[in-house]
Amino acid sequence: MKKQRITSFKKIDWTIVLIYLGLSVFGIANIYSTQGDTQELFDFSKKHGAQILWMAISAAVAIIIMIFSSRFFSVFAYHIYIVALALLLLTLVIGLEVKSSKSWLSLGGLRFQPSELAKFATALALARLFGSREFKYSDLANRLKSYALILVPAGLILLQRDWGSALVFMAFLPVLYRQGMSGWILVFIAFITALFISTLLLSLLWITAAIALISFAVFFVENSDNQSTFRQVLIPGLILLGIGIVWKLASGTEAGYDRVLVASVLLVIIGSFFRMLVKGKRMKVYGALFFILSSAMIYSADHIYHNVIKSHHRDRIEDMLGIKVDIKDAGYNVYQSKVAIGSGGLTGKGFMQGTQTKLNFVPEQSTDFIFCTIGEEWGFRGSFVVILMFAVMLIRLIILAERQKTVFSRMYGYGVAMIILFHFTINIGMTIGLAPVVGIPLPYMSAGGSSLLSFTILLFVFLKLESSSE
């Protein structure tokens, strides 16, 4: 047993460990910078001091994980998942409400988010399901089990009104795809997303008319085989473009014109893609179904957007899409973040020299908006290094996952990579205005003990599994 433990440390992938340490230490440095004037480094009442303490705890937990038998995580995967669900349910009853989300538990003065544990637990449970000998993804019952493992914790987190953490569970879709999920499900999700965005950009009447036009032009206009694809894209595209030009001339504003162009491109791509996949005598039937289902989705999306999604989330989405620009309210954080990143230039203003950072212009600049601190003080050069480190870590995780000999280790590795990728992409997208602000931390760098600890456990469990493989 002792020999196996020593072997695990020798075989651990030190490239990922060094990147983990680099990101964590650099994160502490930037959290320290956000505190303003020079502070005592080990002042545990401050955010940077608390982060140092949590890094020490995380390092200890990482060592313990490497000492544990790798079989522990597969044997107790479902048990950990059940504990995570119990904590999510407990949060709904006695949880603390922070910024309109009831997603925190306080035990003995220690606050943490059970949703962080739920991500790790779901990755383990999915890997355990996929790794069972009797599992075949082609069986409907098995597919439903895999969907349930993802949707149950995501649903409980939605009940806590924590939209950001719930969205992270979409990261498991590529894991399902790797295991055998049909690519049509990903296409369908992209289809719904495009329709949803189009609904926000245009009125319901206009978009319904546009869907009817595309359905007719793409599905009902018969063309010769060698020209069908070209015409099916060109006909609705030119008509919608013409409507956009007329809109611009009639309104005299750029806003309506731009929205029509964006929505037109989305709708034409949707219709043309589906038409190229549908051939034969049933084409008109599919065209009618396309129109009916698209219309139903449009009106459903409109109802959900205006009656289910909270007003402050709507404001952030509309600010991101440029529907309304309000740099004093909903768009304030993103505007100040972009100002901070842009002011950093190529080399940055220097450590502790960021004016936007020191004057606290950007709220949450040590947590959700930590990347704007990096951009201001370390410039494009520092930002590029951070992005490169994440890229190397993710690529390395995928390579290691692919070479695993057990399905459990391989699928868990994919889960780890996809969760980190989702957080990384959305967090940086938030800071530069390419994603709505949904409160997702940057792994290993944002201030927060439960986040750092959960991402450490998530990563080192896979490193343990990988180092134990033969």
Tens digits of per-residue pLDDT, 136-176?
Answer: 888 888 889 999 999 999 999 988 888 888 889 999 999 99
Q: What share of the chain is helix, strand, coil (3-state, %, to 5)?
A: 75, 5, 25
Residues 224 and 161: their CA atoms lie apart, in Å, by 52
Burial class (CB in 10 A: 0-12, 13-18, 19+), 197: middle
Residues 463 and 9: their CA atoms lie apart, in Å, by 10
Packing angle of the helix pair 332-344, 370-402 (nearest 10 deg): 80
Which of these ranges, 59-73, 178-192, 202-216, 299-313, has the smallest mean pLDDT?
Answer: 202-216
Tell me how far apart the terminal alpha carbons of the chain are, to the nearest angstrom. Answer: 16
Residue-wise burial string across 278-288, b where 16 or more C-beta atoms lie within 10 A, e elsewhere: beeeeeeebbe
Our measurement of the distance from residue 299's CA atom to the centroid of its chain's CA atoms, rounded to an integer in Å, reads: 26
Whether pLDDT at 16 is above 60: yes
Task: Please tell me which of 245-254, 346-355, 416-425 the model is most confident about, judged by mean pLDDT.
Answer: 416-425
Whether pLDDT at 234 is above 60: no
Residue 224's pLDDT band (cuts 50, 70, 90): very low
Structure tokens given for 217: 């032009």
What is the model's pLDDT at position 246? 61
**When comparing pLDDT for 69 and 129, which is higher?**
129
Tens digits of per-residue pLDDT, 269-283?
Answer: 666 666 656 555 566
Residue type, 399: I
Whether pLDDT at 22 is above 80: yes
What is the model's pLDDT at position 278? 59
Q: Quickly count: other Cβ atoms within 10 Å of residue 155's Cβ.
A: 13
CA contacts within 13 A on the Cβ side of 90: 15
**φ, ψ at 322 (rounded to 5°):** 80, 15
Question: What is the average pLDDT across 397-404?
Answer: 93
Structure tokens given for 292: 């009916």
Tens digits of per-residue pLDDT, 168-216?
Answer: 999 999 999 888 887 778 877 877 777 777 777 666 666 676 677 666 6
Tens digits of per-residue pLDDT, 96-118?
Answer: 877 777 888 877 667 888 899 99
Q: Which of 107, 153, 95, 106 is nearest to 126 (CA)?
A: 153
Residues 349 and 363: their CA atoms lie apart, in Å, by 20
Cα-based distances in Å from 292 to 35, 188, 198? 55, 15, 16
Looking at every residue in the chain, the average pLDDT score rounds to: 80
**When comparing pLDDT for 36 and 238, which is higher?**
36
**φ, ψ at 103 (rounded to 5°):** -130, 10
Q: Quickly count: other Cβ atoms within 10 Å of residue 22's Cβ.
A: 15
Which of these ranges, 72-81, 125-134, 243-252, has the smallest mean pLDDT?
Answer: 243-252
CA contacts within 13 A on the Cβ side of 360: 6
